[in-house]
């Protein structure tokens, strides 16, 4: 089946620093990838849709200058949390859709900002 690889799986950073999360489709090309955030015991909330070669589409209420998304190739999308604060601590998950296998999720990144 389709595989989406996400790194790192967990990261701890200091307030004010930036953190980059990578999402790769390993055996298929993804012109569109999706970034979700999940707080404890809550559902997955879409943050933005990453479009290869063009600007990302952000959901209402998501700060595009704080959550920078780059989708420079058909297999890689990155999410950079800039000037991270403790309230940004969450589980971030990417997703991509393979035509044969449907939506596939990365393994997620647990971000802790101290």
Partner 1 sequence: GENVEQHPSTLSVQEGDSAVIKCTYSDSASNYFPWYKQELGKRPQLIIDIRSNVGEKKDQRIAVTLNKTAKHFSLHITETQPEDSAVYFCAASKPPLSAQKLVFGQGTRLTINP
Residues that bind partner 1 (CB under 8 A): 31-32, 34, 42-46, 49, 91, 93, 95, 97, 99, 102-108, 110
Q: How far is the CB of 84 from partner 1 (least distance, A)?
A: 20
The residue (of 59 and 83) whose beta carbon lies closer to partner 1 is 59
Q: Which residue in 48, 93, 56, 95 sits closest to 72, CA to CA?
A: 56
Q: How far is CA 68 from CA 38, 41, 102, in A?
A: 18, 25, 26
The residue (of 14 and 40) whose beta carbon lies closer to partner 1 is 40
The residue (of 10 and 83) whose beta carbon lies closer to partner 1 is 10
Q: How far is the CB of 107 from partner 1 (least distance, A)?
A: 5
The rounded distance, in Å, linking the Cα atoms of 43 and 80 is 21
Helical (H) or strand (E) element with 111: strand 109-113
Instruction: Dig out the tokens for 19 from the structure.
Output: 């953190």
Q: How far is the CB of 31 from partner 1 (least distance, A)?
A: 7
């Amino acid at each position: 089946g389709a595989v989406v690889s996400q790194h790192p799986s967990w990261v701890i950073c200091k307030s004010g620093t930036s953190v980059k999360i990578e999402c790769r489709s390993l055996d298929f090309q993804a012109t569109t990838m999706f970034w979700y955030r999940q707080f404890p015991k809550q559902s997955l909330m879409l943050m933005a849709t990453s479009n290869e070669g063009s600007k990302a589409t952000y959901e209402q209420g998501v700060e595009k200058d704080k959550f920078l998304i780059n989708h420079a190739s058909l297999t890689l999308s990155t999410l950079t949390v800039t000037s991270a604060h403790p309230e940004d601590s969450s589980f971030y998950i990417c997703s991509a859709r393979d035509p044969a296998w449907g939506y596939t999720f990365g393994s997620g990144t647990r971000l802790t900002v101290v």
